[in-house]
Chain A
Amino acid sequence: MALKTEEMVLNMGPQHPSTHGVLRLELVLDGELIENVIPHIGYLHRCFEKHCEAMTYPQVIPYTDRMDYLASMYNEFGYVVAMERLMNIEVPERVQYIRVIMGEFQRIASHLVALGTYGADIGAFTPFLFCFRDREKILNLFEITCGARLLYNYMWIGGVSHDLHADFIRLANEFIKEFRPNLKELNDLLTFNQIFIDRTANVGILPAETAINYGITGPNLRASGVKWDLRRDDPYSIYDKFDFEIPIGKGEKGTTGDCWDRYYMRVREMEESLKIIEQALDQIPEGDVSSAIPKRVKPPVGQIYARVENPRGELGYFIISDGSLNPYRIKVRAPSFVNLEVLGELCKGHLVADVVAILGSIDIVLGEIDR
């Protein structure tokens, strides 16, 4: 006699340590197996786009900081690139170098949080402390540059708010020298740890075709074996001047596009970011950082979609100007918003315990999803 069974619906979150913010997942379960995952978002919605319409263009910058609060520098970067294209502003070379240096430091800091919390999600607590120790040093560098540790309001349309501190280049070089061995330490401790590999390899496999159709970008797309990086494929700022590689997932420990690949992609990217920073610190020219900042920001009538490679993927700003001092419309294409959509697809057929591993490997920030 066949037993009649029913699906069980389980709520994970909104308050849950492994949802990285305020996210509710509705898990549809068949015993221990996941049939579907439905994310419910919007708990942090604070009308960013509506706010912008009441602000002048420079006043939007501090708001962009608060979207992806782990990569504030890069959010500003995307916004100023969009505005400069719309207003056709030529930015001094020193400013471009400073932006790249800050952007890549921010990428490392953001990836360190991603990797550290991912380890903590899975049960390895020590790497979390190691990662935060190193991130702290980057935040110190930001602090001597602009006085803030998390929300900077540093990049302005046409320039940056402060020039580099006299000690910055020395301290940055010292950090790079210290950080390289630490990265190896992280690899020994977590990346190539057999327990960690068992937990993440062959879990949550994302094939390249599916990834593109779902609009996945950034490390998650590259982990699926697609060589696509906006720094190389749709260059902005001065990224075409630097020599760096774009790592892609090869399925070394399991299948291409599994959780381990997504994790390891971020480790590799930190190494590449270090290379970029080293070159930039070496070549940075002298100059004035505020000469191109316009007194009145009044872009011509028109619309523009500009995008940058944020630590989480493609961060796009769609700006419509009606020729006044306030933006008519700003839409943000947030990488985490798009990346989270694929979660249901990834979790199907896995165990409940794997949801945490898969969600952590996508690396989302709810501040940016809900805006």
Chain B
Amino acid sequence: MKTSEEIFNILKEKFGEAIGELVSDKPAESVIVVSPMEIDKICLFLRDEKDLEFNSLMNLSGVDDANGEKVKDENGNEILKGGTLSVYYHLESISLKHKVTLKVSTDRENPEVASVEEIWRTADWHEREAFDMYGIKFLNHHNLIRILMPYDWEAGYPLRKDYQNPEFYKGMKVPY
């Protein structure tokens, strides 16, 4: 059983630059910030290393940090420009009973994160949901399509903080 600090030190030694900081302020849980392009290699290491054995991905969640600049678009609606989107990974080892939380942040205009679908099959649908809700593109995902929204939804990504409700869907008035 290892704490987040110990896991952070192991990762820092192995991956160096790709590992950012360890954020730990109580009562919130500690989070290790890592690079979005290296997340797949880091996760593979976490799963296969003997003393870590993170064999289960409990949860994967997209978040809109909404830290960009607020501007008006042509219709007068307030939208966000720049800033970041994040993905949180909650990992757990069922055999060793320890947990860790990873976080990656990616550019809002072109959000790209390496997929961990090959490492834990459960990530497939989780990543599709994050794509559906935030438009985060998971590179090398075999089937990155919408999952909860209609496949042909064109009005954007609903959980982004600047999402605008569309007036029409395929020519039909959307009632609210």
Interface residues, chain A, with chain B CB atoms under 8 Å away: 41-42, 45, 47, 49-50, 85-88, 212-215, 226, 228, 233, 300-305, 307, 314, 316, 318, 320, 329, 331, 333, 337-338, 341-342, 370-371
Q: Which residue from chain A places its CB closest to the CB of B146 in the assembled complex?
A: A42
In the complex the two chains form, what is the Cα distance from A320 to B148 in whole Å? 22
The answer to whether A305 touches B101 (Cβ under 8 A) is: yes
| Sample of 6 more A-B contacts, CB < 8 Å, known A212-B55, A341-B125 | A42-B147, A42-B150, A86-B27, A226-B94, A303-B29, A320-B63
Residue B70 interfacial (CB < 8 Å): no
Q: What are some 20 contacts across the A-B interface (CB < 8 A)? A: A42-B150, A45-B149, A47-B158, A85-B27, A86-B27, A86-B28, A88-B27, A212-B55, A300-B27, A303-B29, A303-B31, A303-B88, A316-B90, A318-B88, A331-B61, A333-B61, A337-B125, A341-B121, A341-B125, A371-B148
How far does the Cβ of A303 sit from chain B's closest Cβ, in whole Å? 5
Contact with A along B56-79 (1 / 0, CB 8 A): 111101111000000000000000
The answer to whether B94 touches A49 (Cβ under 8 A) is: no
Query: What residues on B are CB-neighbors of A307 within 8 Å?
Result: 58
Residues of B12-36 whose CB lies within 8 A of A: 25, 27-29, 31
Q: Which residue from chain A places its CB closest to the CB of B61 in the assembled complex?
A: A331
Residue B97 interfacial (CB < 8 Å): yes
The answer to whether A212 touches B94 (Cβ under 8 A) is: yes
In the complex the two chains form, what is the Cα distance from A302 to B90 in whole Å? 15
Query: What residues on A are CB-neighbors of B90 within 8 Å?
Result: 305, 316, 318
Residue B162 interfacial (CB < 8 Å): no
In the complex the two chains form, what is the Cα distance from A66 to B64 in whole Å? 25
The answer to whether B125 touches A338 (Cβ under 8 A) is: yes
In the complex the two chains form, what is the Cα distance from A86 to B25 in whole Å? 12
Q: Which residue from chain B places its CB closest to the CB of A345 in the assembled complex?
A: B121
Choice from B27, B122, B159 contacting A338 with Cβ under 8 Å:
B122
Contact with A along B100-143 (1 / 0, CB 8 A): 01000000000000000000111011100000010000000000
How far does the Cβ of B121 sit from chain A's closest Cβ, in whole Å? 5
Contact with A along B144-167 (1 / 0, CB 8 A): 001111100000001100010000
Query: What residues on A are CB-neighbors of B62 within 8 Å?
Result: 331
The answer to whether B158 touches A341 (Cβ under 8 A) is: no
How far does the Cβ of B127 sit from chain A's closest Cβ, in whole Å? 12
Q: Which residue from chain A places its CB closest to the CB of B56 in the assembled complex?
A: A212
How far does the Cβ of B20 sit from chain A's closest Cβ, in whole Å? 16
* Contact A228-B94, Cβ < 8 Å, known A303-B29, A316-B59, A331-B61: yes
Query: What residues on A are CB-neighbors of B56 within 8 Å?
Result: 212, 215
In the complex the two chains form, what is the Cα distance from A337 to B148 in whole Å? 11
Chain A CB count within 10 A is highest, among B56, B90, B126, for: B56
Choice from B97, B122, B159 contacting A49 with Cβ under 8 Å:
B159
Size band of the interface chain B makes with A: 20 to 34
The answer to whether A302 touches B28 (Cβ under 8 A) is: yes
Query: What residues on B are CB-neighbors of A42 within 8 Å?
Result: 146-150
Q: Which residue from chain B places its CB closest to the CB of A38 in the assembled complex?
A: B143
The answer to whether A45 touches B122 (Cβ under 8 A) is: no
How far does the Cβ of A135 sit from chain B's closest Cβ, in whole Å? 29
In the complex the two chains form, what is the Cα distance from A329 to B161 in whole Å? 10
Query: What residues on B are CB-neighbors of A314 within 8 Å?
Result: 58
How far does the Cβ of B9 sit from chain A's closest Cβ, in whole Å? 22
How far does the Cβ of A43 sit from chain B's closest Cβ, in whole Å? 9
Q: Which residue from chain A places its CB closest to the CB of B101 in the assembled complex?
A: A305
How far does the Cβ of A26 sit from chain B's closest Cβ, in whole Å? 13
The answer to whether A215 touches B27 (Cβ under 8 A) is: no
In the complex the two chains form, what is the Cα distance from A87 to B57 in whole Å? 26
Query: What residues on A are CB-neighbors of B28 within 8 Å?
Result: 86, 301-304
Q: Which residue from chain B places its CB closest to the CB of A45 in the assembled complex?
A: B148
Query: What residues on B are CB-neighbors of A305 within 8 Å?
Result: 29, 58-59, 88, 90, 101
Query: What residues on B are CB-neighbors of A318 within 8 Å?
Result: 59, 61, 88, 90
Query: What residues on B are CB-neighbors of A301 within 8 Å?
Result: 28
Query: What residues on A are CB-neighbors of B64 within 8 Å?
Result: 329
In the complex the two chains form, what is the Cα distance from A212 to B94 in whole Å? 8
Q: Which residue from chain B places its CB closest to the CB of A370 in the assembled complex?
A: B148
In the complex the two chains form, what is the Cα distance from A214 to B122 in whole Å? 4
In the complex the two chains form, what is the Cα distance from A62 to B40 in whole Å? 38
In the complex the two chains form, what is the Cα distance from A45 to B133 in whole Å? 12
Query: What residues on B are CB-neighbors of A49 within 8 Å?
Result: 133, 159
In the complex the two chains form, what is the Cα distance from A358 to B133 in whole Å? 30
The answer to whether B120 touches A213 (Cβ under 8 A) is: yes
How far does the Cβ of B173 sit from chain A's closest Cβ, in whole Å? 18
Q: Which residue from chain A places its CB closest to the CB of B90 in the assembled complex?
A: A305
Q: Which residue from chain A places its CB closest to the CB of B25 in the assembled complex?
A: A302
In the complex the two chains form, what is the Cα distance from A228 to B125 in whole Å? 23
In the complex the two chains form, what is the Cα distance from A217 to B25 in whole Å? 30
In the complex the two chains form, what is the Cα distance from A233 to B120 in whole Å? 21
The answer to whether B63 touches A215 (Cβ under 8 A) is: no
Q: Which residue from chain A places its CB closest to the CB of B130 in the assembled complex?
A: A331
How far does the Cβ of B29 sit from chain A's closest Cβ, in whole Å? 6
Query: What residues on B are CB-neighbors of A47 within 8 Å?
Result: 158
The answer to whether B125 touches A50 (Cβ under 8 A) is: no
